[in-house]
Structure formats: C-alpha cells, structure tokens
Amino acid sequence: MEKIIELQDICKSFYLGDEELKILKNISLTVCKGEFVAIVGASGSGKSTLMNISGALDRPTSGRYILAGQDISQLQDKQLSKIRNQKIGFVFQTFNLIARTNAIKNVALPMLYAGIPGSKANERAKQLLAQVGMADRMYHNPNELSGGQKQRVAIARSMANDPDIILADEPTGALDSTTGRMIMDLFHKLHREQGKTIILITHSPRLAAECQRIITLKDGETVKEERGGRICC
Ligand SMILES: Nc1ncnc2c1ncn2[C@@H]1O[C@H](COP(=O)(O)OP(=O)(O)O)[C@@H](O)[C@H]1O
Ligand SMILES: [Mg+2]
C-alpha cells in the first residue's frame, strides 16, 4: 500500500528556560493511504504534540517527516501552511470555528485561502454541509449550534479542499456519548466512501477499537500497537 505519513525517529523537545523537556522520543510511524488509525494514551503522553507534527502545524526537533513522498521536516512556515491547506483536514475537541461567522463561511474559508473564487467556495461549502447533515443550519453562527452540530461543521470544513488526510484530536471529547457516536459514524463514512486516511486521537477505548490500528503512546513513546476493526454498528 502507498505510504502517506512516514514519521522517522521523530523527537520533539520544548524548552523551559534552560530545561529541555523531551516530549516525543524517537517515534517512528508509517500510515498508509486509506488507513483509519487511533492514537490513545494518558493525558500528557504527547498525543497532541504528535498530531501537530503529523499535521505540519509544528516541526520535529529531530527526525524526518515524509508526507505523501515529500520530506517536509525542514520546510518554512509558508510552505507548511500550503501543504496543510491542501493535504490535511483538522478536527479539534473544541471545534475551533470562527465566531460570528456562519457555517457556510467557516467551511468556505480554507477554499478561499486556496484561491477558489467565493461563489464556487460557497457552493461547495453548502454541499459539504449537506453531506454532514447540516443542510438546514447553514446560515447559523457557531453560538447558535449544539456541540454536535459545531463538530459537523468542523468536519465539513476539514473536507473543504478534499484532503487525503484527516487528523482529529479528541473530536468527541466535548460531546455526550450519543452525539460522539454520530460524529464517529461520520468519520467511518468518510473513510469508507471517500477513502480518507484518518488519524483519531481518543480517550474512548470503544471508539479506538473500531479503528484499524490502535497505537498507544506513553511518556512520548509508542509502547503498543494493536489491530482494531471492531465496528459494532
Ligand atoms: N508548547 C509547549 N511547551 C512546553 N511544554 C509543552 C508544550 N506543548 C505540550 N507540552 C507538554 O508536552 C506534554 C505532552 O503534551 P500533549 O502532546 O498536549 O499531550 P496529550 O495530547 O497526550 O495530552 C505535556 O507534558 C505538555 O505539558
Ligand atoms: Mg491532547
């Protein structure tokens, strides 16, 4: 299978004054196109840091990151933001939608950054919102939507430029279990019907078990990999 994410011996340190905090320690991880992978681990184990590097939001301190065949470890911010815009969709626990801006505009924004004309971007935004079951809430602002609805908008936004990869950092963490279930079903749909490569960080062992691979992080190291695929619905 075609490799899409190749993290090779990735280390990440943060510095507090003179003190080096080693947050990721020699992580190597390959994800193939079309895989659905869960990342689990205690709070503080480095999951979001790994996600930020995988999503080109941050750079490793050392190691190589080959994304879709291109070494992006040392690229500059401007190049990284272009790669993010084209290749990666992000979904966060707290939705990260733009306030006082309706759902259509939230979803259209990554397309506008990519240079797509406004009318075309709006048209596609409406289609994407319809796909996630938000056709009747398209003109609502985030503060007029429930948590589950906000997350649907965020998922539609993550699909704006039809990225190969979706990175979701605890996307159900702020939702009740029924709403979380619906959001998880949407990820399964994108995986199954559109062949998206999905990496999902979750605290839920049940949701993790539904993914094809489950990778456990502990203190910045990958300590376990299991096979999942136990889809119960
Ligand atoms: N920008 C930063 N500066 C300093 N320490 C950080 C920074 N980001 C994360 N950390 C630390 O890295 C560790 C892992 O954080 P994180 O990746 O957010 O873990 P998780 O998502 O698994 O809860 C934590 O101890 C956190 O305090
Ligand atoms: Mg986190």
- What's the gap between Cα 193 and its chain centre? 18
Reading the block at residue 5, the tokens are 């994410």
Query: Model-level pTM?
Result: 0.96
Ligand 1 test: best mutation among 10, 23, 200, 216, most atoms within 8 Å of CB?
A: 23
Distance 112 CA to ligand 2 centre (A): 29
| Ligand 1 first shell, C-beta below 6 A | 14, 21, 23, 41, 43-49
- Per-residue pLDDT tens listing for the chain (233 residues): 899 999 999 999 999 999 999 999 999 999 999 999 999 999 999 999 999 999 999 999 999 999 999 999 889 999 999 999 999 999 999 999 999 999 999 999 999 999 999 999 999 999 999 999 999 999 999 999 999 999 999 999 999 999 999 999 999 999 999 999 999 999 999 999 999 999 999 999 999 999 999 999 999 999 999 999 865 44
CA distances from 101 to 97, 139, 140, 153 (A): 8, 9, 8, 12
Give the number of other CB atoms < 10 A from CB of residue 49.
21
Q: Name the residue among 229, 208, 231, 183 with its Cα closest to residue 47.
A: 208
User: CA triplet 57, 166, 131: central angle to 5 degrees?
Assistant: 135
Give the number of other CB atoms < 10 A from CB of residue 109.
17
The number of the ligand nearest the C-alpha atom of 39 reads 1
pLDDT of residue 129: 98
Q: Are 66 and 72 in contact (CB under 8 A)?
A: yes
CA distances from 172 to 21, 92, 109, 193, 230 (A): 29, 9, 23, 21, 18
Closest residue by CA, ligand 1 atom 13: 44
pLDDT of residue 230: 66
User: What are the extents of the domains in the chain?
Assistant: 3-227
Task: Read off the pLDDT of residues 72-86 as tens digits, 9 standing for 90 and up.
Answer: 988 999 999 999 999
Q: Are 73 and 65 in contact (CB under 8 A)?
A: yes
Give the number of other CB atoms < 10 A from CB of residue 27.
23
Q: Are 32 and 2 in contact (CB under 8 A)?
A: yes
Q: How far apart are CA 65 and CA 27, in angstroms?
A: 11
The number of the ligand nearest the C-alpha atom of 50 reads 1
Q: Are 69 and 14 in contact (CB under 8 A)?
A: no
pLDDT of residue 231: 57
Amino acid at 194: Q
pLDDT of residue 229: 83
DSSP 37-96: EEEE--TTSSHHHHHHHHTTSS--SEEEEEETTEE-TT--HHHHHHHHHHHEEEEETT--
Q: Are 91 and 171 in contact (CB under 8 A)?
A: yes
Fold of the domain built from segment(s) 3-227:
Rossmann fold (3.40.50)
pLDDT of residue 232: 45
